[in-house]
Structure 1
Amino acid sequence: MKSSTYQRGLLSSTQTMNVSLGKGTQDVALIVVNHIQHGPLPGLRAVGNAVIETEIRFADPVLQARAEQALGNRRPTIRTVVGLGGDTSTHLDIPAGTLTEEGDDGAALSWQAMSGDIQSGGLKSSTRLNWPELKITSEGGTLTLSSMALNGNAARENAEDPLGVGEQVLTLGSAAYSGPSGSSRDALTLKDLKVSSSSTLRDDFYHGGVQYNIGQLGFSAPGGLQSLTNVQLHLSLGHLSREPLARLVKTLQTLGQQTGTVPEAEDLTEAQRQALTDDALAVLKGGPVFAIDRLSFTQPGGDIVLTGKAELPGASELDAETAHMLASSPQLALGLIKVQAQFRAAEPALRELLATLSPKAATSLESLVEIGYLERQDNELISNLAFGGGEASINGQALGAF
């Protein structure tokens, strides 16, 4: 925020803020005006302490004119009700519109009306957004996103808590991309996408995860259009020590507020750099665990699944000098890492996939079984990867040191 002014009246007030988004020559200047209706004393309005109508416009008149044209001279509305206890309820409406780029490309962005609600009270907040359709058209093709929704909630333990816990869920009914003139080359279709993220706190350690679930995914391949169903990617990062992580986040937030951007290493003072290093080291010594809880999809012949996790059992012995050495020579950190992973696939499904991607790869499948990198168990092919102490193995067979 570059500047702010406030004009208070008996029953209404106006706050005007000049805001800059971005950095350097790429920044965009905005003017944000809050039109505030309130009583002469707190609590005299039946709906709450205040009602705020927020207006946002570009400082550049040319950009503002383009925005008004794109929206058909209809304004977005942002209305916030401030309750007697300080709780806020904000409703957002953005009209449907079309924005066309100037030039030979003639790219166009069009969208249906979007609406949303944001609730905030005390240490808790919730969000709900709905966007029926967004379409991008250019000479390179057309991308259409349909039935988008975002729902989430968050809670903090106290006012000083920079992390909090909660969950967010993004859903997308469908996405479709087609090449120029509807060409099937490089075509992509997606149905029933759900992306969910969550964070929890247990025994003074944070645990977070994100899950991607796709009902159906279609794409172009050398063998033609292919389709995968029930695509899942579930990732998690856990056992993050709470106190140093909170300090780390607070320091970065403070630096971001001071500079208005993500701070660069060269912009830090020695004290700031040392504080960040100490807290990052403390988080590592807590023994974080990264996991691929599931990466899978379904072929007509069955499921293909990958799971795995990476740990730092040697991190508890780290000191500042060793951490600095590892930062300078990352390859030395291999001795601290322990990795376990398992690949499991129905054999017909794996053969189908390899034949689609590379017929030569499909013919080499049997040789991988013969040398023991894949093991047959009933109708499945399984491979177990282990890495620790700088050495790796597949199905118990040593691959040598790294």
Structure 2
Amino acid sequence: MKKSSIALAVVAALAVAYPAASWMSGKRLETKLSQTDKKDVLFANFKIVKQTYTRGIFSSKQESTIEFDIAGMSPAASPMSLQDQAGQDPQNPQDATDAADADPHQPEMPKILKPVQFQVVNTIQHGPVPGILGIAAGKIETEFVLDATTKEEIKRVFGDKKFIEIRTVLNYGGGGKLTISSPAVNTTVGMNQDKLDWKGAKLEIDFDAAYKKLKFDLHSPGLDVLAAKGATSVKVGEIKMQGDAERAYPDGFLYLGASKASIASMSFSNAQAANKGFSVKEISLESTTTSKNDLIDSALKFGMANITMNDTPIGNFHYDYSLKRLHGPSANQLFVELSTIDQYKNNPEKMLEMQQKWKQYGIEILKHNPEISLDRLSLTGKSGEFKASGKFQFKDVAAVDFETPILLLSKIESVGEVSLADAMIDELIDGTQTDPDARGMMRSQFYAQIEGFEKQGYVKRDGKVLSSKVSWKNGQLLVNGKAFPPKPEIDPAAAEAAAMEMK
């Protein structure tokens, strides 16, 4: 057989095989995209109201109307409010009378929020080679259906560009990558035609088939906004976020992993105002969450460098805290049940049953002595520093303590330290107050209060640094070992005289 004949045979075979492969990929995608996992708590507040799926050989279109239940996430669905409802019988005339005769001056209970609906259109290109993107089960381009007014407002900013592009590439083995991007624009906005330089943004999220493992990467060069007359400006530098997360439990909200986010700089200025604005550099946020023997440890570190207010350098700010020994299975199950609580609001018996379960979760959580720590709260200036640290925990909690909740207060233990340099007080006052008279008044008030606390022993001075140690144990608050608030001093002679009068 001639080579040309072999080549024609291969081409013919591919011409027949590829549409078949594409059709099969489309069939699998339709099955996957049309099903909804109602058991997954991540999607518990979403419901597909209407859906159509038009499948072709090489591409398909899915149109969905999705309902988001805001009420299920609102405070109105809290355990306390539902417990109150459980105590009322809608068939009892007395309950109805009490509701009608409620005090009109009392604040109204929040109204039930209506679910929000929105429409989504997915344009799907079938594999094996969807849109020349390599080997994949399919590529999905997602668009939200917007009303004419919203479209017009967006067009004023982005022109003919798509203000947001959402693309998902699905793998044959499950999982895929979601990419969300917004294009850069340099335009004018608002009635005053302020200048906007939005430098674009891109977010990529890799996920597995069960959304158990996530890996994300966000990047944006930032934005600048300049008022039409040039007096006011807002600038945001490069924005970055990277991290990974893995579900701690298949049916829960809790994720383990590490992430880091940063903003290179941020500033606001107003040349026409007395207070000219502020600027910050190197804003950072780091978090880590780990688990060992079902006990979860989580830590967060937040920092801002080179803070300046009204042209006055303030310094560097840090806020770090951590949570240790949180019993993961109990906390996870508690969060899961709270997320579905709305469906039981008209079932008092079920509500009481769930409340008993929450009590058991609480007992199990506190049994492991969880600890919340303020690891670092500080503001460091050129002349001194303010810093604080502390920790809060329950110790040796038993099931019987929950029968009398007031007993739980005696199981709380907390310790902390705080220190402040005199020079830092002056820096803060100078940086926040432009009026000299206001500065003098704040200084005199502050130092008068400090002097009173020093005399009582609640504040100690070491040179130009003020400090205090705070503790709470057995229901008593102590500051530098002294009860706070101070107990009134009793004159022995007056006490004896009062006793004689009682006799």
Normalising by structure 1, we get a TM-score of 0.80
Q: Structure 1: give runs of 5+ residues left out of the alignment.
A: 327-331
Q: Report deviation, 1:250.
A: 1.7
Percent identical residues:
23
Whether contact under 8 Å (2:252, 2:333) holds in the other structure is no
In 2, distance between residues paired with 1:67 and 1:184?
A: 35
Paired residues in the alignment total: 380
How big is the alpha-carbon RMSD for the aligned residues of Structure 1 and Structure 2?
3.8
Alignment of 1:169-208 (within 5 A): 169-179=260-270, 182-185=272-275, 187-208=277-298
What is the rounded CA distance, in whole Å, between the counterparts of 1:26 and 1:338 in structure 2? 43
Corresponding residue for residue 304 of structure 2: 214
Q: Which has the larger radius of gyration?
A: 2
- SS state at 2:357 partner: helix
Deviates more, 1:108-117 or 1:286-295: 108-117
Partner of 1:148: 239
Aligned mates of 1:106, 1:314 — CA distance in 2: 63
Q: Which residue matches 2:258? A: 167
In structure 2, what is the Cα distance between the partners aligned to 1:311 and 1:112?
Answer: 46
Aligned match for 2:443, one of 356, 359, 362: 359
Q: Are 2:135 and 1:47 equivalent residues in the alignment?
A: yes
Shift of 1:160: 3.4
**What letter matches 1:32 in structure 2?**
V
Secondary structure at 1:282's aligned position in 2? helix
The residue type equivalent to 1:156 in the other structure is: R
SS of 1:210's equivalent in the other structure is strand
Structure 1 position 133, deviation (Å)? 2.3
* Residue equivalent to 2:481: 396
Give the Å deviation of 1:11: 2.4
Q: Deviations over 1:246-302 (max 9, x none)?
A: 10122233447x69xxx9999x84434443444244323432211110001212223
- 1:183 is paired with a residue of what secondary structure? coil
Contact 1:285 1:318 in 2 (8 A): no
Using the alignment, how far apart are the partners of 1:25 and 1:141 within structure 2?
A: 38
The AA in structure 1 aligned to 2:264 is G
Higher strand content, 1 or 2: 1
Over 3 Å counting, the alpha-carbon distance change for 1:128 and 1:302 in structure 2 is: same
Deviation, 1:119, is 0.9
153-162 or 305-314, which deviates more: 153-162
Deviation at 1:314, TM superposition (A): 5.1
Aligned mate of 1:74, from 161, 167, 175: 161
Residue 119 (1) aligns with residue 206 (2): yes
The code of the aligned residue for 1:48 comes to: A
In the TM superposition, residue 52 of structure 1 has moved relative to its aligned partner by 1.4
For 1:363 and 1:81, how far apart are their aligned partners in 2? 65
Give the corresponding residue for 1:94.
182
Q: Cα distance, 1:51 vs. partner?
A: 1.4
In structure 1, what is the Cα distance between the partners aligned to 2:453 and 2:258?
42
Aligned residue runs from structure 1 range 256-267, under 5 A: none
Distance in 2, matches of 1:31 and 1:18, equals 4
Shift of 1:126: 0.9
* Structure 1 CA distance for aligned equivalents of residues 470 and 429 of structure 2: 20
For residue 37 of structure 1, what is the aligned residue in structure 2? Answer: 125
Whether 2:321 is the aligned partner of 1:238: answer no
Counterpart of 1:284 in structure 2 is 366
The corresponding residue for 2:50 is 3
Tell me how far apart the structure 2 counterparts of residues 204 and 187 of structure 1 sit (CA, whole Å): 48
Asked whether the equivalents of residues 265 and 282 of structure 2 are also in contact (C-alpha less than 8 Å), the reply is: yes
Q: CA deviation at 1:8?
A: 2.4
Contact 1:314 1:337 (C-alpha < 8 Å) held by counterparts? no
Task: Specify whether residues 158 and 305 from structure 1 end up closer, same or farther in structure 2 by C-alpha distance, changes over 3 A only.
Answer: closer
Greater CA deviation, 4-13 or 157-166? 157-166
**Paired AA for residue 457 in structure 2:** G
Q: Which residue of 1 aligns with 2:313?
A: 227
1:302-321 C-alpha deviation (Å, 9 max, x unpaired):
33211111111253455543
CA gap of 1:194–1:318, structure 2 versus 1, over 3 A, is farther
8 Å contact 2:367–2:397 — kept in the other structure?
A: yes
Cα drift, residue 347 of structure 1: 4.9
Q: Distance in 2 between matches of 1:127 and 1:274?
A: 39
Q: Which is helix-richer, 1 or 2?
A: 2
| Aligned match for 1:17, one of 61, 64, 67 | 64
* Pairwise CA distance, 1:342: 0.7
How many angstroms apart in 2 are the aligned matches of 1:285 and 1:47?
52
Equivalent AA in structure 1 for residue 177 of structure 2: S
- The 2-side partners of 1:213 and 1:238 are apart by 21
Q: Which runs of no fewer than 5 residues in structure 2 stay unpaired?
A: 1-46, 71-111, 432-438, 488-503
Measured after TM superposition, the shift of residue 65 of structure 1 is 2.9
Higher mean C-alpha displacement, 364-373 vs 185-194:
364-373
Q: Give the distance between the partners of 1:265 and 1:348, measured in 2 at CA.
A: 61
The residue matched to 1:73 in structure 2 has which SS? coil
- Structure 1 333/185 Cα, relative in aligned 2: closer, same or farther at 3 Å? farther
Provide the C-alpha distance between the structure 2 equivalents of 1:396 and 1:208, rounded to a whole number of angstroms: 31
Deviates more, 1:298-307 or 1:1-10: 1-10
How far off its partner does 1:362 sit? Answer: 3.6
Instruction: Report the Cα offset of residue 69 of structure 1.
Output: 3.3
Q: What is residue 338 of structure 1 aligned with on the other side?
A: 413
| Counterpart secondary structure, 1:78 | strand
Relative distance call for 1:399 and 1:92 in structure 2 (3 A) is: closer
Secondary structure of 1:315 counterpart = coil
1:197 positional shift = 2.1
Counterpart position of 1:296:
378
Residue pair 2:206, 2:216 contacting (<8 A) in 1 also: yes
Q: Partner residue of 2:459? A: 374
Q: Is the 8 A contact 2:218 2:241 kept in 1?
A: yes
- How far has the Cα of 1:144 moved from its partner? 3.2
Question: In the TM superposition, what is the alpha-carbon distance from 1:118 to its structure 2 partner?
Answer: 1.0
